Amino acid sequence: AFILPAMIGYFMGSILGGIAFIGLLRMLFVHHMTFFINSLCHMVGFKTYTDTNTAKDSPIMALFTYGEGYHNFHHFFQTDYRNGIKWYQYDPTKWLIKSLEFFGMAWDLKLTPQEDILKAKLLMEGKRLDQKMSLTNSMEFKIKIDNLLSELSVMLDGIKNTKKELKTFAENKKKKNELALFEVKRKLAEAKINFKFKLKEYSYVKKTLLFAPA
């Protein structure tokens, strides 16, 4: 860890200077970036997917921790190889692993179903809205929100199961029935449309609640 810094320092005229400024500062920087994950990543940001632990998501912290700033997602969906799930979210580890897969050096990468991610996010939204409703004493809104979240959750489960059914057809090409395959695709498309409309209804009720006077 210090041989190369010492050699660089030697050619620069100061072995101790090389060790101090190149070796120690490098270690200090790397260690702090690592410790941020177990400290600041549990203090800075938002609990996007779960409140069962102290981990939080923060795009700012992601810049200092090689993507680990999306720590709430990482803790809740631990088998997923990603931290930042959006393409634009800074997560160099995710990009490295995906690149290694392209070259055959990594395989069987685990991805959390989109339905599970959205379901967890909606559940956390519901908890935050509950806090808002407890301040406004709006029982009518609470009933609406709870019912909509319940319906959305059931819809997401339905979409997920239909996708599994479609995947089964794809894996058994010789045995598949074209009419049955068409029906599964139609069912999936219909489920997605219904979910989209229900999500719009939920968004409208949520906005109405958020802008309601306290």
Question: 69 and 130, same structural domain?
Answer: no
Calpha distance 152→150 (Å, rounded): 5
The residue ranking higher by pLDDT, 126 or 172, is: 126
CB 148, CB 205: distance < 8 Å: yes
In a domain, 177, yes or no: yes
Residue in the structure block whose two tokens are 């979240």: 149
Which residue from 18, 21, 74 is spatially nearest to 45, judged by alpha carbons? 74
Mean pLDDT of the chain: 87
Question: 180 and 123, same structural domain?
Answer: yes
In a domain, 109, yes or no: no
Question: 176 and 93, same structural domain?
Answer: no
Which residue from 156, 88, 207, 192 is spatially nearest to 184, judged by alpha carbons? 192
Reported as a single tens digit per residue, the pLDDT across 43-97 is 999 999 999 999 999 999 999 888 999 999 999 999 999 999 999 999 999 999 9
pLDDT tier for residue 134 given thresholds of 50, 70 and 90: confident
212: how many CB neighbours lie within 10 A of its CB? 13
Contacts of residue 69, defined as CB under 8 A and 6 or more positions apart, other chains included, come to 41, 45, 57, 58, 59, 60, 61, 62, 63, 83, 90
Number of structural domains, the chain? 2
Question: 94 and 122, same structural domain?
Answer: no
Domain of 49? 3-102
Picking from 34, 69, 102, the residue at the C-terminal end of a domain is 102
